[in-house]
Structure 1
Amino acid sequence: MTETRIAVVLKGYPRLSETFIAQELLALERRGLPLEIWSLRRPTDRARHPMHAAIQAPAAYLPEYLRDAPFRVLRGLGAALTRPRLPALLALFARDLWRDPSASRLRRFGQALVLAKELPSEVAHIHVHFLHTPASVARYAALLTGRRWSFSAHAKDIWTTPAWELTEKLRDAAWGVTCTRDGLARLEALAPGRTRLAYHGLDLARFPAPPPLRAPRDGTDPADPLRLLCVGRLVAKKGHDDLIDALAALPEDLHWRLDLIGGGELRGALEARVRERSLTERVTFLGALAQPAVVAAMRAADLFVLPTKPAPGGDRDGLPNVLMEAASQALPILATAFAGTPEFITDGEHGTLVPPGEPVALATALARLASDPTLRLRLGEAARVRLVRDFSEAAAIDLIADALRLSAGLAPSAKSLEPELAACAS
């Protein structure tokens, strides 16, 4: 007898910047869910996290560009012509294309035809991460094949997808979750009762205990400068430009070094900004690194800085997982009071928050935290307590796992399922 499985649709897999997805996949497998991964793009990162090696689910790749796999697309189209649900799909796609006449929309339709053709019959349910383009593929394929689908919404997909598209996807999905109250409020305003809050949390078993003691550096010794760390893709919403400007405004007699971990489209521009402000000797671009190297950097640092803000196109963060990873090492955090960050960090209690997009306020907070190792110690310890007490991954994973079991017709776990989500999943 073949095993019922769940297809998880992703935009790209594996990705170093999406540790929260890898963590979730691994945790779902450990709860006994049979998964297979379908990715819209092949990996571009050279390194992989250890979690990716631990995930057992096979990964299949849809054609990123339809011209690269014409025979797969034609086979998908041929199979679609025999399906009774094709007229309904064509009507939906025509409405979408009329409102969004783009090459991307056509590509997602073609990818959906391939997915519908190639999904094994054992796949009983489709779950997708991100409500923008991946959800379009999942939605079309689900409609064509008569399957139900669900979603995990995160950040960019919530804030840059048009309201009409979000509303229709929310109504069509069996159920969904999102990872911040900020995002939940947006989705609830469009389609009440379709989405539940499920913080990513952190699997603390994957992280070492915090360092026993950090050196009380205060930036006064040029031979032992304050060690600053920022981890995040080099894109506009992470606020690296504000961080560089803030560092340039610090007093000349404050000695510091910054390590920047992450790759992205703005690296050249940010390196130029560092040169323009004569900070080349103090700022090091390390590129994208696997999680063990990131954790090692956190253990060696004195202060974690992440000044996220809204990007020009409306993109914004959810609750960055790196904040919780920093907290796992009791590393004090300086961030912006933006998006989901205040849901984890209370200013003055678990870290320091400043307004987004204000380098002067960021510089003031940097100087204050640099000069006060005792304050940093207190904030770092409080952030770890907050993480352990309120942001374990277990509750969210149990919620998602139970809903997936119900949707796929698998035996439920012994734990009870949230009633509202059960009603949607059944």
Structure 2
Amino acid sequence: MDAPGRPLRVAYVLLRPPSYSETFITSEIEAVRAAGATVEVFVARRDGGRGAELRQVLGALLRHPVRTLAGVRVLGMSYLPRALLAAAHAARLSGPVSRFGADVLHAHFVNLPTAVAALVGRWTAVPVTAMAHAADFLLDGNGPALDRRLRLLSHLFVISRAAATQLAERGATVSEIPHSVVRAAFDGEIVEPQGRPTGSTIRLVTVARLVEKKGVDTALDAVALLVRAGIPVRYDIYGDGPIRSVLADRAHASALTDVVTFHGAVSHRVATAALVGADAAVLPCRRAADGDLDGIPVFLMEAASRGVPVVTTAVSGIPELIGSDGGWQVPPDDPTALADALRQLIHRPEEGRRRAGILARRLREEFSPTLQARRLLTVWGRLVDRAPRSTASRVPFVSTVDGRAPAATDPAAGPAREQVGGTPGEVGTAWT
């Protein structure tokens, strides 16, 4: 490292500030800062929609034609027009990142944010890392361009071992790219579970965006089997999405109108409260027809943090959260197996409590932000040691994250920071 003892300076390159369902990014940044690193967040996308992005691309071509076209060549012509947009974003952010004096650049999601970060790193001679999640590459139909982006990284982080396998299936030569697992951290409070009245109706809860990959239709069919078997059950579904009406019709056709309640999109506070006193958190994930698949759903972590037993499917990275006995895992698209697992939980509540306790401990030990920060900083430290940089070209960081010079301020006030993870609106998407 070029300045022994100086805190590592980490530039997060994000497409936009973390959304309602991306609090894992916020918690990661806070944990990295708490571990002693100096962190600044650089947001690529400005307000103004597609029109603003088009103007940005045209401006980059006019002001920096050689660099912009060179960026396109680096990312590959098959990646047009995203390569043009990435080059335009990178041209705007390279100056502020350089003035910050970053030791390493880090991006979340291996689509456009990684393309931007890779170009910024190339133009500022700074190592670049990125985190692969799930939909960011599973829905990418351009395998060669994906592989090309990943090869520009100094190190690739994946949220699960399953994600590394899935990347290889999408055409990335993962075996030739340095990579390691860093979890999408859970930063919520882990609380003691609350008891429920004995002999009352069994309460099942799902909090999710209502899309195909969540498998809520399978859960409805399993609940119908329980009702036909005479088991008193209530199923609360929190979240909204494009297939909500289809699911509501399915519940009606299965005579579940008095059993199932669709609550719609709710705040995090309401979703969290929904788990209190629940008998089971149900999420029978599957691979959607378009290839989309969950990584490790935050809803399952939220349930684990409150001691609620989980019944889910053994797909993607879910087994890496649940382990061998942290809950019930069944095959996807199998309502009979799902109903059988729920029967086991209902008839053996002590086993549900035991498994929930195991899952809470695993959440605390393997998915803590502190552990993820330590994993990140270990890799970043090695990268910086291998690629020392002179401080001669570094100047004080005086730009805001959008690259524009700030208004005159008290010099002692320090640089303006992008607020990360601000208070979201009360109504938003459900956990992913």
Q: TM-score range by the shorter chain?
A: 0.7 to 0.9
Change (3 A) 1:25 1:268: farther
- Per the alignment, in what secondary structure is the counterpart of residue 35 of structure 1? strand
- 1:121 paired with 2:104, answer no
CA separation of 1:4 and 1:355: change in aligned 2, threshold 3 A: closer
Contact 1:335-1:353 at 8 Å conserved across structures: yes
**Distance of 1:425 and 1:231 partners within structure 2:** 46
**Is the Cα contact below 8 Å between 1:66 and 1:73 reproduced in 2?**
no
Match of 1:198 in 2: 182
1:372-418 deviations in whole A, cap 9, x for unaligned? 322222222222233334443322211213444666x6xxxxxxxxx
- Cα offset for 1:358? 1.6
What does residue range 22-421 of structure 1 map to in structure 2 within 5 Å? 22-39=26-43, 61-62=45-46, 65-68=49-52, 71-81=55-65, 85-86=67-68, 88-93=70-75, 96-97=76-77, 99-100=78-79, 104=82, 106-116=84-94, 119=97, 121-122=99-100, 124=102, 125-161=104-140, 162-187=142-167, 190-192=173-175, 193-203=177-187, 206-217=188-199, 224-252=200-228, 253-347=230-324, 349-404=325-380
- For 2:313, the aligned partner's letter is T
Q: For residue 285 of structure 2, give the secondary structure of its aligned residue in structure 1.
A: coil
Residues 265/304 of structure 1: CA separation in 2 closer, same or farther (3 Å cut): same
State the 1:72 CA deviation: 4.2
1:241-282 C-alpha deviation (Å, 9 max, x unpaired): 211222223233222222223333333333333333332333
Equivalent AA in structure 2 for residue 140 of structure 1: L
- Measured at CA, do residues 327 and 377 of structure 1 come closer, stay the same or move farther in structure 2, by a change above 3 Å? same
* Displacement after TM superposition at 1:107 (Å): 4.0
Tell me the residue number matched to 2:410. none
Q: Which moved more, 1:20-29 or 1:184-193?
A: 184-193
For the Cα contact (< 8 Å) 1:166–1:190, is it kept in 2?
Answer: no
Q: Which has the higher contact order (CA 8 A, sep 6+)?
A: 2
Give the deviation of 1:331 after TM superposition.
0.9
2:209, 2:240 within 8 Å by CA — same for their partners in 1?
A: yes
Deviations, residues 189-247 of structure 1 (Å, cap 9, x unaligned): 713251111223434xx415223533345xxxxxx321111122222211112112222
CA 1:398 to 1:234, structure 2 compared with 1: closer, same or farther past 3 Å? same
- Cα distance, 1:177 vs. partner? 1.0
Letter of the structure 1 residue corresponding to residue 369 of structure 2: E
The equivalent residue for 1:415 is none
Structure 1 portions without partners, runs of 5+: 41-60, 218-223, 410-421
Q: Which amino acid aligns with 2:173?
A: L
Following the alignment from structure 1 to structure 2, what is the Cα–Cα distance between the partners of residues 133 and 7? 16
Q: Is the 8 A contact 2:28 2:373 kept in 1?
A: yes
Coordinate RMSD, CA, aligned:
3.1
**Letter paired with 1:34:** T
- State the Cα deviation string for residues 297-316 of structure 1 (Å, max 9, x = none): 22221101111111111111
Partner residue, 1:9: 13
| Match of residue 395 from structure 2 | none
Q: Which amino acid aligns with 1:135?
A: T
Q: Which deviates the most, 257-266 or 164-173?
A: 257-266
- Helix, strand or coil at the partner of 1:77: helix
Kept in 2, the 8 Å contact 1:303–1:331? The answer is yes
Query: Contact 1:89–1:143 (CA<8 Å) still a contact in 2?
Result: no
What is the TM-score of this pair, normalised by structure 2? Answer: 0.76
Following TM superposition, by how much is the alpha carbon of 1:340 offset from its aligned partner in structure 2, in angstroms?
Answer: 0.9
Contact 1:178–1:199 (8 Å) recurs in 2: yes
Per the alignment, do residues 261 and 70 of structure 1 end up closer, same or farther by CA in structure 2, a change over 3 Å counting? same
Shift of 1:28: 1.8
Aligned equivalents of 2:132 and 2:388: distance in 1? 17
CA shift digits 1:62-113 (9 cap, x unpaired): 35744235554444334424x7x555324235xx33x345x55554444444
Q: Calculate the TM-score normalised by the size of structure 1.
A: 0.77
- Matched AA of 1:14: P
1:31 corresponds to which letter in structure 2? A
- SS of 1:121 mapped into structure 2: helix
Tell me, in whole angstroms, the C-alpha distance in 2 between the residues paired with 1:12 and 1:256: 41
- The answer to whether the 8 A contact 1:258-1:282 is kept is yes
CA distance, structure 2, for counterparts of residue 215 and residue 401 of structure 1: 46
Shift of 1:122: 1.4
Q: Deviations over 1:107-157 (max 9, x none)?
A: 444444444466562152431101122222322343345443210111122
Taking the aligned partners of 1:280 and 1:10, their CA distance within structure 2 comes to 43
Q: Where does the alignment leave 5 or more consecutive residues of structure 2 unmatched? A: 1-6, 390-432
